[in-house]
Amino acid sequence: MLLHRVVALLTPPQSPFELACASEVFGTAPQDAPPRYSFRVCAERPGPVPTGAGYAMLVEAGLAALREADTVIVPGWQPPDAPVPPNVTEALRDAHQRGARIVAICTGAFVLAQAGLLDGRRATTHWRSAARFAAAFPEVQVDPDVLFVDHGDVATSAGTGAGIDLCLHLVRSDHGAAYAAQIARRMVLPPHREGSQLQYAAQPAPARADESLAPLLEWATSHLDTQLTLGHLAERAGLSSRTLARRFTEQLGTSPGQWLLNQRLDAARILLEQTDLPVEAIATRVGLASAVNLRRRFRAHLGTTPGAYRRTFSET
């Protein structure tokens, strides 16, 4: 299998964390699974690239590396409104025109916008920079309430850690939910994080340990084949339905019903990839009752059918 070539374009002062988001997802294959990606870095000019952590990275490749990339990642840009060198924007436009996927993490969206790759499109960036981004690029439809936006050929993520969400999403799109879940497990992360970045925009009072939803979520994901109403979940958590719904909104940025549906669809995706079970049996196993309901939910949320998804991602 030919490896999908991922190249990260570093810019001074480079954020080590945003680079690591891409490197951890694309640069290390999960255990007991074949590598699907190659990962390297480049810069406008080869040589030392200062970082925001006080040390320099030695980058050996220049912009010519972008000519061979299948995916180009811009992991941040500081300060966000600083002008991007014309040869950098030209290299990004050339890569995009050639068919490479262009991805921005956090304030890397400013680079893509200066290159004209986001004109007339939805995009996101760190919530602290969203207003500045919208003012600087009125032709871009800025959405500050999402973790990432993926158009297929161009994608942007919200601040910092949302870069991991976007990178895992891209792996899921390329190679299916099971392969992305293997990478997420190695990173000790959920394969799909719920909610929007606005839940992080304010500094709420820390949740007390007895208010954590983690035990309930773990229990619910192991009982997807049972009837899990809001009342059942509230009884399990020892809370009123209203209090539980409020805590879902506060901690996950979504409702209990929407969270459950997402878990059921993710479980269905993995069963479609890894088993030969009939769609009806999968629907029952994940708590969606019938093949008709599973197909309806699949089309509404994923834009495809279970059968088409299985043909694309089946490992059996």
Give bridge partners of residue 41 from the DSSP assignment: 8
Q: Which of 3, 9, 180 is nearest to 104 (CA)?
A: 9
Task: Judge if 31 and 123 occupy the same domain.
Answer: yes
Higher-pLDDT residue of 193 and 126 is: 126
Average pLDDT over residues 63-83: 96
For residue 14 the two structure tokens come to: 């480079």
Residues found in the chain: 316
Q: What is the Cα gyration radius of the chain?
A: 21
Higher-pLDDT residue of 255 and 316 is: 255
Q: How far are the Cα atoms of 82, 119, 177, 220 from residue 185, in angstroms, in the given order?
A: 37, 36, 12, 19
Task: Determine contact, residues 92/117, Cβ cutoff 8 Å.
Answer: yes
Average pLDDT over residues 252-268: 90
Q: Structural domain tally of the chain?
A: 2
Confidence class for position 193, pLDDT limits 50, 70, 90: low
Average pLDDT over residues 88-96: 98
Task: Judge if 220 and 280 occupy the same domain.
Answer: yes
Distance CA 18, CA 21 (A): 5
For residue 31 the two structure tokens come to: 């255990």
Whether residue 154 has pLDDT greater than 70: yes
Over the stretch 100-132, which tens digit does the pLDDT of each residue have?
Answer: 999 999 999 999 999 999 999 999 999 889 999
Average pLDDT over residues 236-265: 90
Task: Judge if 246 and 177 occupy the same domain.
Answer: no
Question: Torsion-angle region of residue 76: left (phi > 0), alpha (psi -120 to 50) or beta?
Answer: left
Whether residue 71 has pLDDT greater than 60: yes
Tell whether pTM > 0.85. no
Tokens 């032709």 label which residue? 139
In the chain the first and final C-alpha atoms are separated, in Å, by 17
CATH number at residue 115: 3.40.50.880
Single-letter amino acid, residue 34:
P
Task: Judge if 210 and 135 occupy the same domain.
Answer: no
Would you say residue 199 lies in a domain? no
Average model confidence (pLDDT) across the chain: 89
Confidence class for position 202, pLDDT limits 50, 70, 90: very low
The whole-angstrom distance between residue 257's C-alpha and the CA centroid of its chain comes to 21
Domain range spanning residue 283? Answer: 205-316
| 270: helix, strand or coil | helix
Average pLDDT over residues 160-177: 90
Over the stretch 280-302, which tens digit does the pLDDT of each residue have?
Answer: 999 999 999 999 999 999 888 87
Task: Determine contact, residues 229/263, Cβ cutoff 8 Å.
Answer: no
Tokens 């099971």 label which residue? 178
CATH number at residue 256: 1.10.10.60
Distance CA 246, CA 249 (A): 5
Task: Judge if 172 and 227 occupy the same domain.
Answer: no
